[in-house]
Amino acid sequence: MRTPALSLLVTGVLFLAGCGGPPMGAVRGRLTCNGQPVKEANIIFTPVPKSETDKEPGKAAAGSTDADGRYSLSTFHDGDGALVGKHRVTITLDPESHTACKSKVVLREVKPGGNEMNIELNE
């Protein structure tokens, strides 16, 4: 009788240990070009290494804009946001739809909790 109870206890402890995960922050915002919403753009937040020896800074978060230019990011699950810390943000536009603005890379910092990150692209 002790073996099944011990197995159940060990399984429960291992399950709970995996629930913490890395610190995340919800990220949403709006992408505009010269004040106008940018639809169908891809946005990737890639964690910046904390030092030169940091070879695995973490998993990138991604999202795409809707017709109003709004986006929300997902890393592990739909809408869970991005890892807390500094990120290199890559914005990729459809060249046929967005001739006025170009793709861009910017830096942003994700903080715990909610993050509203509006991004303006200029010509």
Output the pLDDT for position 44. 97
pLDDT for 2: 53
CA distances, 29 to each of 4, 22, 23, 65 (Å): 50, 22, 20, 9
Amino acid at 101: C
Residue ranges and CATH numbers for the domains of the chain are: 23-121 (2.60.40.10)
Examine the pLDDT at 37 and tell me if it is beyond 80: yes
pLDDT per residue over 44-100, tens digit each? 999 999 888 888 899 999 999 999 999 999 999 999 999 999 999 999 998 776 667
3-state secondary structure of 94: coil
The model's pTM is: 0.79
